[in-house]
């Protein structure tokens, strides 16, 4: 996806405000370095971003600063999305690296001072990651799909669709006890929030999760358990024809 120039400079302003707010005297990382990395990002110089940001992540003085991890996560993601075949060949695991640093960013940003600024990017990353997981599922590569869903759960423990699908991949991989534990957690999340507060991409994932989980359970003879997922989420998808058709086919 083409990087939005206007959004980039809004992000620049947010970063500047956030850094000054943390330490008016002297921030650990100069604002000019953030400015420079952001301009490189906008101009597609992703490797330069990586080279500069990694110095801060590896420095004992700045290793706990969240933003360098965010820059690395996004730089890797832009490489993954790039049309530059040579660049993508140099970084064949760019999507995995993007998630790796996104998870570190979330962990380092304990006070949640910066996560909101990166919502749009994190949703792009979620979309790409869930698409990859769906491809693994379609190819019956359940352990790989499970790993993706586990990372999405770590990125946001409230992601009920990722939690449900993590359980479903365990179920398909013949680990029913662990699957039931994950499904129990997913039901608890639904009971707690009713599915509210999810990003659009997470709602899409939840919809996919209900269909896949229900079909998987029905195929093994657990029809009542399969139908329960539709009951638990019917208020979220009241007019969804595909979900209604899948439910009807299970109820027959």
Q: Where are the domains of the chain?
A: 1-113, 130-252
pLDDT on residue 15: 53
Q: Has residue 130 got a pLDDT over 80?
A: yes
The predicted-structure confidence for 2-50, as pLDDT tens digits, reads as follows 445 445 444 544 554 454 444 455 789 999 999 999 999 999 999 999 9
d(CA 125, CA 103): 11
pLDDT on residue 211: 98
Which residues, 6 or more positions from 210, have their beta carbon under 8 angstroms from its beta carbon?
A: 164, 229, 230, 233, 237, 243
DSSP 116: G
d(CA 191, CA 187): 6
pLDDT on residue 27: 87
From first CA to last CA, the distance across the chain in angstroms is 43
Q: Has residue 164 got a pLDDT over 80?
A: yes
pLDDT on residue 3: 46
pLDDT on residue 1: 45
Q: Has residue 195 got a pLDDT over 80?
A: yes
Q: Which residue has the tokens 């029913």?
A: 176
Which residues, 6 or more positions from 176, have their beta carbon under 8 angstroms from its beta carbon?
A: 170
Tell me what the mean pLDDT of segment 79-106 comes to. 97
107 vs 25, residue with greater confidence:
107
pLDDT on residue 252: 85
pLDDT on residue 239: 92
pLDDT on residue 5: 42
The predicted-structure confidence for 75-91, as pLDDT tens digits, reads as follows 999 999 999 999 999 99
Domain covering 130-252: architecture? Alpha Horseshoe (1.25)
Q: What is the pTM of this model?
A: 0.89
pLDDT on residue 11: 56
């Amino acid at each position: 996806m083409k990087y939005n120039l206007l959004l980039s400079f809004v992000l620049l302003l947010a970063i500047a405000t956030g850094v000054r707010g943390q330490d008016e005297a002297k921030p650990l990382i100069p604002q000019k370095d953030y400015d420079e990395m952001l301009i490189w990002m906008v101009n597609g110089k992703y490797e330069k971003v990586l080279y500069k940001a990694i110095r801060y992540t590896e420095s004992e003085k700045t290793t706990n600063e969240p933003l360098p991890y965010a820059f690395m996560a996004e730089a890797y993601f832009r490489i993954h999305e790039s049309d530059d075949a040579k660049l993508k060949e140099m970084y064949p695991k760019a999507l995995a690296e993007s998630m790796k640093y996104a998870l570190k960013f979330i962990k380092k940003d304990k006070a949640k001072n910066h996560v909101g600024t990166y919502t749009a990017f994190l949703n792009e990353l979620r979309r790409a990651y869930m698409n990859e997981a769906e491809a693994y599922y379609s190819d019956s590569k359940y352990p790989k799909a499970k790993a993706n869903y586990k990372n999405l759960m770590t990125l946001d423990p409230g992601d009920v669709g990722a939690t449900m699908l993590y359980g479903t991949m365990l179920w398909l991989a013949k680990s029913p006890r662990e699957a039931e534990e994950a499904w129990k957690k997913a039901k608890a999340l639904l009971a707690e929030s009713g599915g509210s507060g999810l990003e659009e991409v997470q709602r899409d994932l939840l919809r996919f999760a209900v269909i896949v989980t229900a079909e998987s359970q029905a195929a093994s003879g657990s029809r009542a358990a399969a139908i329960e997922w539709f009951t638990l989420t019917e208020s979220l998808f009241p007019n969804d024809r595909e979900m209604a058709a899948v439910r009807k086919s299970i109820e027959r």
